[in-house]
Amino acid sequence: MEYEAVIGLEVHAQLLTRSKLFCSCSTDFGGSPNSNVCPVCLGLPGSLPVLNERAVEMAVSAALALGCSIRETSIFARKNYFYPDLPKGYQISQYEEPFSDNGFLDIELDGVTRRAGITRVHMEEDAGKNVHGVGGDSLVDLNRACVPLIEIVGAPDLRSSAEAATYLRALREILVFIGVNDGNLEEGSFRCDANVSIRPRGEARFGTRCELKNINSFRFVQRAIDVEIARQTAILDAGGKITQETRSFDPDTNQTKSLRSKEEAHDYRYFPEPDLPPLRLPAEFVERVRKALPPLPAAVRERLLAAKVPAATAQTITQHPAYVRFFDDVCTRFNHPLKVANFFVNEVLRGAKAHGLEATFTVTTEQVAELLGLVEAGDISGKQAKDVFAAMEGNAQQPSAIVEARGMRVVSDASALQAICEAVVAKNPSQAAGFRSGKLGLMGFFVGQVMKETKGSGNPKLVNELLERILKGG
């Protein structure tokens, strides 16, 4: 029997606030264990949570960027469960009345754009972290407790592991572009759970789903979903039934393993958080956040495509907001978007390093703009531009100074080039005869010989014109 996969993703994204969701402790990653804690995030008796306004702004930004409706009133709730990394014995989240719902995310795969629904975006605090194997013990680091998260609950609209990975990349891209999340899967600030089921193709009713927990790379998400689809298919083909359960993915064995079944699942006993009033988001607050949103990646790509930048190049530039800023700044100094885009992708990006919301480059936008200006003016060739670029990487030298110091300026003296072209033709009579007999591709040979004689400094356009005149006239 042929089956169809039904996949819905739940993503936890850490909001990039300096302090935690309900207290003033730092959210910095990598500190000494239990160094960023206080009575509130430790859950000590008598401590009271105070909501971080900046976290609310960031959460609303994300929901608006994902096309969600914003509710004027929402409620925080206590999600009760008992793990060592949850000091209060409950997590403050949102349940029946989240602050946003009914959003969407457009994904493009193999040239086809599909719209996947987003059921809701809500705020919640993170738990701590269990650290195992320390001197044979398991310890708890509560630095992460109370760190602000948004949970983005996707509708079961995805039909393959490739769509799921594309969805995650598109979601991460948006959150990074609007500056609310650094997209760092390795540090756990962008985490994914995948709900996977299969059903006979053409069947409307969903199958029994299994949840794959805490997958921390796009590649592993795709592998885990493929493995789980294969596992469920084998069970159904053998006449068995799928058990609703939570599973983990082991990338070393390429298998999913059961963590707990439905019978062992938690009853979270949600109830409204008594220490926090209802969250009210007035229309003017929401509108202010909406107006502050930067252009989203899809809009930037449309702008680049309108400037005749190829789709693949536009996709590369919009992989990171710092790339777009660099590209735009060069264009303000050298207004030829296509030429800037090609040089940026082929040369500049080779030395660029992105981490979180920031990226470093080996050259400045001023250097790149001046370099491209020299090429445009015919002062140096495109090949020479690569040499100049290599010379100015990692230092403050201006391209014009490098060109002068190395004597690289293009020779555009027609009389000087005429003599060189005539000498090259005279040295290669058989190739000249071949060109005159119709082998026009030999022009490249002659141009190469002239450029060799001029050490790459001959004006390519003028060299071509002179050679054509000499060969056809001879």
Query: Residue 473 has what pLDDT?
Result: 77
**Pairing assessment for the beta strands 76-80 and 112-125 based on DSSP bridges:** unpaired
Angstrom distance (rounded) from CA 445 to CA 410 = 20
Domain ranges in the chain are 3-285, 295-397, 414-473
Please compute the mean of the pLDDT values over residues 340-353 and round it to a whole number.
97
Reported confidence tier of residue 264, pLDDT bands at 50, 70, 90: low
Mean pLDDT of 65-77: 98
| Reported CATH class of domain 414-473 | mainly alpha
Q: How many CB atoms lie within 10 A of CB 422?
A: 14
Model pLDDT for residues 139-170, shown as the tens digit of each residue: 999 999 999 999 999 999 999 999 999 999 99
Predicted confidence (pLDDT) per residue in 265-320, tens digit: 567 899 999 999 999 999 999 999 999 999 999 999 999 999 999 999 999 999 99
Instruction: Answer whether residue 39 shows pLDDT above 60.
Output: yes
Q: How confident is the model over 38-54, as a mean pLDDT?
A: 96
pLDDT greater than 60 at residue 263: no
How far are the Cα atoms of 77, 89, 273 from residue 82, in angstroms, in the given order? 16, 5, 17
Q: What is the DSSP string of 373-427?
A: HHHHTTSS-HHHHHHHHHHHTTS---HHHHHHHTT-PPB--HHHHHHHHHHHHHH
Phi then psi for 302, rounded to 5 degrees?
-60, -40
pLDDT value for 265: 58
